[in-house]
Amino acid sequence: MGGPVSFFFEVLFSGLLAGVMYSLVALGFVLIYKASGVFNFAQGAMVFFAALTFVSLVERGVNFWLAMAITLAVMIVLGVLTERVVLRPLINQPQITLFMATIGLAFFLEGLSQGIWGSQPHGLDIGIRDEPMEWLAERTGMFLSQFDLFAAAIAAVLVTVLALFFQRTRIGRALRAVADDHQAALAVGIPLKQIWAIVWAVAGFVALVAGLLWGARTGVQFALTFVALKALPVLILGGFESIAGAIVGGLIIGASEKLAEVYLGPYVGGGIESWFPYVLALAFLLIRPEGLFGEKHIDRV
Amino acid sequence: MKPSKYLAAGVALAAAVLAGGALAQAKEQFIPANGYWVGPYAPGGSGFFGGMLDYFQLLNERDGGINGVKLTWEKCETEYNNARGVECYERLKAKGSTGATVIHPLSTGITYSLLEKAPADKIPLISMGYGRTDAADGRVFPYVFPLITTYWSQNTAKIKFIGMREGGMDKLKGKKIVNLYHDSAYGKETIPVLDAQAKKYGFTVTHIPVPHPGNEQQSQWLQIRQIRPDWVILRGWGVMNPTAIKAAQRVGFPRNKMLGVWWSGAEEDVIPAGDAAKGYIAAGFNLPGTSFPVVQAIMKNVYGKGKGEMEDRSRIGSIYYTRGLVAGIVTAEAIRTAQEKYGKGKPITGEQMRWGIENLNIDEKRLKELGAVGLMQPLKVTCMDHEGGGAVKFLQWDGAKWNVITDWIASDQSIVRPMIEESAAKYAKEKGITPRDCK
């Protein structure tokens, strides 16, 4: 085993890699926020719903990739239905109304998932061993899991694809307009309903990816809805509107909470990583209220 | 028939129906099923209450109840939430002809919330394998029964088990044990008893908390890797358990040196962890399996008639299910004991049930009659001792099922009992309770 320096870097790297897992969840929030200016309370429930649907299909003998395709289709249908049933009647309503609607949606999805598939936890094997890489351990004394690196690679691909989607496509540009002002966006001919449906479907896809990676680690069970708690400080820190912010915020939160838990925790009784990220995010808010990459809004008075 | 005769016949019929109804009502024993079937802890709740209610159903179907008194129940969803637990208690406490017989809160938090309410209403609480450990002192807690094995008893059995594995209790000297616990009242419950044993046997113990819900434990396991302990005691709940087992694999800690509490030792705790859980060991006060005659009787008399609580029949015989079964047996036997004193074939009150539990004696002979030999240990409750058992078996997961790897290991009451009495006396002083004289 390496010395204290090696251990420090091990904590740092595992923190960064844990942060990537948080970022994956945070991305789903960012997508919805960018499109509708709403904090989607149901994101955690979507992660749970997606992972549970996938694993239940696999357990019933459906091929891995087919199950993935079916779950993706289900998430797209869910996104479209959410737009039609929940959001469309609320166009031009205050954002708090939309937020409240997502709370309702969260309860509905949690109930629906358990109603259809039951409340038992499931194991999920996505074929990537969650074990330390021996060659790295032998050379550096650091125990890093190949699963974490895999998750980081997935996150990198996801971010690249999403960034291209939002910056190079018309939908992406339309999104920001919609987020700024529903009415104005409608007035200039942006098809708000389609935009919302697309974004919710994409958020469903991101939820599926996050659900699979988190589910492979903790098992697919109701507690997956709690991963949203991990994403909140990431969003505060990185900004609700920025995909890059979700990634950088995740890395900062992940690394700092692990370092704090390992090096400060023992002096204050431990267990601080549940609240430390929030304190950090709060401190950050005082300096930069819009978050690291958030947009500064200037309102006319 | 003249109209007046119709009227008379109608009145007679109505009277007969009403009398019959009253009679039927009088012959029923109501037990609230305040549990959880949805939410993060649903696997535990649905399994436990599935087992308990299936046993009640068995008694109704096969024996016509207990000495002719049918068992009835109503479910109330607590979601493992304290406020809801209290609400369910209030809603159902007066139901049935004699009110609620007994409450199984299946939550340490809800047990604490009802600790003063239930005695005031003269309704006993059974917190089997959870709840407040010092409630085992029946002089201070006449209405609370942490039956079979408390957390502290279990913990001493665990240290005995580690001692056995290390080649003797004297070999514990200098060993390093990590207590990885859920950062909650439940998780912290065993810190004092572990510290006392560390002092007695000369091992070091490091307590590492995991914040709720426990779905991310990398920093805790990095610390564990630094400490390089000989054993890790896992005191988890819900998602914390598979996450810990997986995290152990990630830092290369051997799973057969991980020892879980019984709330970390169900199928639901290891299946989500997949292969990582192979070799993992956990404590248990009830054993899994479907070969027990009582389980077979349930299959025949309950599920055979299209009744039964478990939608997924593969869960029958699982750890949570058989734990519920044990709860059902204990409850029914206490009702039977109370009937012996207060009148066979009569529904009993909560106060009478309290007497029934306190005089419960389920010996090997009775276990055989019940078809539950090996499912649970013999149980003898007294006024002084509301625990009644105290022994633990250890089980090891082989990737597909739990295998029993020890006989019943007795707890170390020389450590536990003085701590219980000291803590209970402190509680009595705080609350102004004069302890009963049990002599």
Interchain CB distance below 8 Å, A120 and B315:
yes
3-class secondary structure, B354: helix
**Nearest chain B Cα to A111, which residue?**
B38
CB pairs under 8 A between A and B: 133
DSSP state of B410: P
Nearest of B319, B286, B280, B321 to residue B303 by alpha carbon: B321
> If pLDDT is split at 50, 70 and 90, which confidence band does A292 have?
confident
Nearest of A71, A49, A31 to residue A203 by alpha carbon: A31
> If pLDDT is split at 50, 70 and 90, which confidence band does B89 have?
very high
pLDDT of residue B8: 56
Residue A16 domain-assigned?
Answer: yes
- Asked if the peptide bond before residue B213 counts as cis, ω within 30 degrees of 0, the response is yes
What distances in angstroms separate CA A163 from CA A75, A169, A297, B240, one per listed residue?
A: 21, 10, 22, 34
pLDDT of residue A131: 84
**Nearest chain A Cα to B246, which residue?**
A217
Residues of chain B neighbouring A45 (CB-CB closer than 8 A): none
**Nearest chain A Cα to B212, which residue?**
A274
Q: H helices then E strands: how many in chain B?
A: 16, 13
Residue A140 domain-assigned?
Answer: yes
Q: Does A130 touch chain B (CB under 8 A)?
A: yes
Neighbouring C-alpha atoms within 13 Å toward the C-beta of B99:
16
Predicted ipTM of the assembly: 0.86
pLDDT of residue B12: 56
What distances in angstroms separate CA B80 from CA A22, A220, A254, B35, B45, one per listed residue?
A: 27, 20, 30, 7, 8
Q: What is the mean pLDDT of chain B?
A: 92
Average pLDDT over residues B219-226: 91
Average pLDDT over residues A147-169: 87
**Nearest chain A Cα to B248, which residue?**
A131
Query: B406 near B394, Cβ under 8 Å?
Result: yes
Residues of chain A neighbouring B37 (CB-CB closer than 8 A): 119
Interatomic CA distance for residues B34 and B84, integer angstroms: 9
pLDDT of residue B24: 46
Interchain CB distance below 8 Å, B273 and A219:
yes
DSSP state of B276: G
Interatomic CA distance for residues A171 and A186, integer angstroms: 14
Query: A185 near A170, Cβ under 8 Å?
Result: no
Q: Does A273 touch chain B (CB under 8 A)?
A: yes
Average pLDDT over residues B107-128: 95
Residue A263 domain-assigned?
Answer: no
Question: Does residue B279 register a pLDDT over 90?
Answer: yes
Interatomic CA distance for residues B331 and B328, integer angstroms: 5
Query: B78 near B35, Cβ under 8 Å?
Result: yes
Domains, chain B, ordered by start = 27-149+290-390+418-431 (3.40.50.2300), 152-284 (3.40.50.2300)
Higher pLDDT, B25 or A191: A191
> If pLDDT is split at 50, 70 and 90, which confidence band does B191 have?
very high
Residue A301 domain-assigned?
Answer: no
Among the partner-chain residues B37, B183, B252, the one whose CB lies closest to the CB of A132 is B252
pLDDT (tens digit, 9 = 90+) per residue, A81-102?
988 898 888 877 888 898 899 9
Q: Does A119 touch chain B (CB under 8 A)?
A: yes
Residue A57 domain-assigned?
Answer: yes
3-class secondary structure, B149: coil
User: Can you read off the two tokens belonging to residue A51?
Assistant: 């992972």
Place of tokens 């616990």: B181
* Number of neighbours of residue B254 by Cβ within 10 angstroms: 12
pLDDT (tens digit, 9 = 90+) per residue, A175-213?
777 777 777 888 888 888 888 888 888 899 999 999 999
Residue A99 domain-assigned?
Answer: yes
Give how far the C-alpha of residue A35 lies from the chain's centroid of Cα atoms, to the nearest Å: 15
What's the whole-model pTM score?
0.88
Interatomic CA distance for residues B164 and B157, integer angstroms: 10
Q: What is the mean pLDDT of chain A?
A: 87
Q: Does A15 touch chain B (CB under 8 A)?
A: yes
Among the partner-chain residues B219, B243, B249, the one whose CB lies closest to the CB of A262 is B219
pLDDT of residue B91: 96
Contacts of B245 (CB under 8 A, 6+ apart): B234, B255, B258, B269, B270, B273, B276, B277, B280
Query: B161 near B406, Cβ under 8 Å?
Result: yes
pLDDT of residue B317: 95
pLDDT of residue A68: 94
Interatomic CA distance for residues A34 and B112, integer angstroms: 45
**Which of B9-13, B124-128, B378-382, B391-395 shows the lowest mean pLDDT across its residues?**
B9-13
- CB contact residues (below 8 A), chain A span 206-265, against chain B: 214, 217-227, 230, 257-258, 261-262, 265
- Run of H or E residues at A64: helix A64-81
Interchain CB distance below 8 Å, B312 and A227:
no
- The backbone region for A144, taken as left when phi is positive above 0, alpha when psi lies in -120 to 50, beta otherwise, is beta
Nearest of A177, A169, A125 to residue A147 by alpha carbon: A125
Average pLDDT over residues B331-352: 97
Residue A267 domain-assigned?
Answer: no
Give how far the C-alpha of residue A59 lies from the chain's centroid of Cα atoms, to the nearest Å: 25
Q: What are phi and psi of B372, to 5 degrees?
A: -125, 25
Residues of chain B neighbouring A220 (CB-CB closer than 8 A): 272
- Run of H or E residues at B361: strand B361-362
First to last CA, chain A: 61
Q: Does A278 touch chain B (CB under 8 A)?
A: no
**Nearest chain B Cα to A134, which residue?**
B252
> Count of domains in chain A?
1
Chain B: residues touching A (Cβ < 8 Å): 37-40, 42-43, 46, 183, 207-213, 215-216, 218-220, 222-223, 225-226, 238-239, 242-243, 246, 249-252, 268, 271-274, 276, 311-312, 315
Query: B374 near B292, Cβ under 8 Å?
Result: yes
> If pLDDT is split at 50, 70 and 90, which confidence band does A2 have?
low
Residue A292 domain-assigned?
Answer: no
Tell the burial category of B18 from Cβ atoms under 10 Å away from its Cβ (0-12, 13-18, 19+). exposed
Interchain CB distance below 8 Å, A119 and B39:
yes
pLDDT (tens digit, 9 = 90+) per residue, A23-56?
999 999 998 888 777 888 999 999 999 999 999 9
Nearest of A71, A102, A74, A66 to residue A86 by alpha carbon: A102
Question: Does residue B27 register a pLDDT over 50?
Answer: yes
Nearest of B357, B194, B395 to residue B280 by alpha carbon: B395
Give how far the C-alpha of residue B279 lies from the chain's centroid of Cα atoms, to the nearest Å: 25
Interchain CB distance below 8 Å, B219 and A273:
yes
Interatomic CA distance for residues A151 and A18, integer angstroms: 9
Residues of chain A neighbouring B315 (CB-CB closer than 8 A): 120
Nearest of A89, A58, A113 to residue A223 by alpha carbon: A113
> If pLDDT is split at 50, 70 and 90, which confidence band does A300 have?
low
Residues of chain A neighbouring B243 (CB-CB closer than 8 A): 217-219
Closest-CA distance, B62 to chain A, in angstroms, reads 30
Q: Does A40 touch chain B (CB under 8 A)?
A: no
pLDDT (tens digit, 9 = 90+) per residue, A209-225?
999 999 998 889 998 99
Residue A193 lies in domain: 4-226
Residues of chain A neighbouring B311 (CB-CB closer than 8 A): 118
DSSP state of B66: B
Spell B97-125 as b/e; 16+ CB within 10 A means b.
bbbbbbbbbbbbbbbbbbbebbbebbbbb
3-class secondary structure, B101: coil
Closest-CA distance, A194 to chain B, in angstroms, reads 33
